[in-house]
Amino acid sequence: MEGIYQHFRAEEHAFIDATLEWIVQVEDQYTPHLTDFMDPRQRYILETVVGGYEHVKVKFWGGVNHAERRRALIYPDYYEPTDADFNITLFDIRYPVKFTTLTHQKILGTMMSLGMKRDIFGDILTQAELWQFFVMAEMKDYVSLQLDKIGKVNVMLEEIPLIDSLPVHLDWEFTSTTITSLRLDLVVATAHNISRQKAKQLVQAKLVKVNWKTVENPDFECEEKDIISVRGFGRVKLGEINGHTKKDKIRIEIGHLK
C-alpha cells in the first residue's frame, strides 16, 4: 500500500497512516472499528485505502441519508452492519424563538468554545426556526451537560429519534469559466467575483478552508472536487477540469450551493 500516498496531498498522509492502523486492527482482531464523524474528503480517502484490502469493508452513516458528515464503520467482510452500529444521537435545540435567532456559525462556535472537537458532531440541520444536530452517542451526556447556552441565550437539548430529523438540502449549481491557474487565491477571487488581492488577504487571515481544513498559503494548488469555503462568502465546489483554451487558460466548472 506504499503507493497510496502518491495519490494524495502531503498534508493528508497522516490521516492515511491512521486509516491503515484502523484497517490492520480490524484484520487482526476480526472486529469492526467505528470512527468519529468524517467530512467527505476524509471519507473518500478512507474508502480508497480500504479498497486495497480484500477482506475489509467500510460503510458510512451520518444519522440521515445524504448527511455531509458521517461516521465510518470499518469491518471484516463477514460482518453485516446496521445503522445502530454507528452510535449516533440526534438533539433538538429548544430556545426562545421570539427573542433570538440561531445560526449555524453561532451553534458551531459555541461548541468549539467549550473545547469540543468538531469530529464528535455530525451535521447541523435547520428548517425555518428549527435547529438540530447529530453527535456521537458516546458523548451525548457530556454535550447535554455542557451546552446549556448559545451565545447569551439559554437553550435546552432534547434527544429525539433519528427518524424525526429535518431534511438535508445540499444542491450544487455549476457554471463554466476559465482561469489562468488553480492557485487558491485565484480560485477564490474567480468563484466569488472579488479582487485577487482581497482573496489573498482572506487566505492569509485564515478565513479560507479547503476540504474542511484551513489553508493559509495563497498559492496552494486546488484540484477537482475540492470544497472551498470562505467565511462571509459561502462555499464552492470545483467540478471537472476540461482542458485548456488556445490562450492556455484552464477550463473549469465551479459549483455554488443553491
Based on the domain organization, do 51 and 78 belong to the same domain? yes
Q: Are residues 221 and 252 in contact, defined by beta-carbon separation less than 8 angstroms?
A: no
User: Are 78 and 92 contained in the same domain?
Assistant: no
* Domain enclosing residue 43, as ranges: 2-85
Q: Which one, of 118, 104, 119, 117, lies nearest residue 150 by Cα?
A: 104
Give Cβ neighbours of residue 77 (< 8 Å, ≥ 6 apart): 54, 55, 56, 57
pLDDT tens readout for residues 56-90: 999 999 999 889 999 999 999 999 999 999 999 99
Percent of the chain exceeding pLDDT 70 equals 98
Helical ranges in 91-214 per DSSP H: 104-113, 140-146, 184-192, 196-204
In this structure, the answer to whether residues 180 and 123 fall within a common structural domain is no
For residue 2, name the pLDDT band (cuts at 50, 70, 90).
low
Which residue, 86, 171, 97, 165, is CA-closest to 133? 165
The reported pLDDT for the residue numbered 99 is 83
Query: What mean pLDDT comes out for the span 27-49?
Result: 95
More confident position, 251 or 5: 251
Among residues 67, 85, 103, which one ends one of the domains?
A: 85
Q: Which three cell numbers stand for residue 166?
A: 429535518
Q: How many domains does the chain have?
A: 3
* pLDDT band for position 222 (cuts 50, 70, 90): very high
**Given this model, what pLDDT does residue 49 score?**
95
Higher pLDDT, 252 or 65: 252
CATH (domain of 235):
3.10.290.10
- Ranges of beta strands (E only) in 45-198 are 56-61, 70-76, 88-94, 121-127, 130-136, 149-150, 153-154, 156-160, 172-179
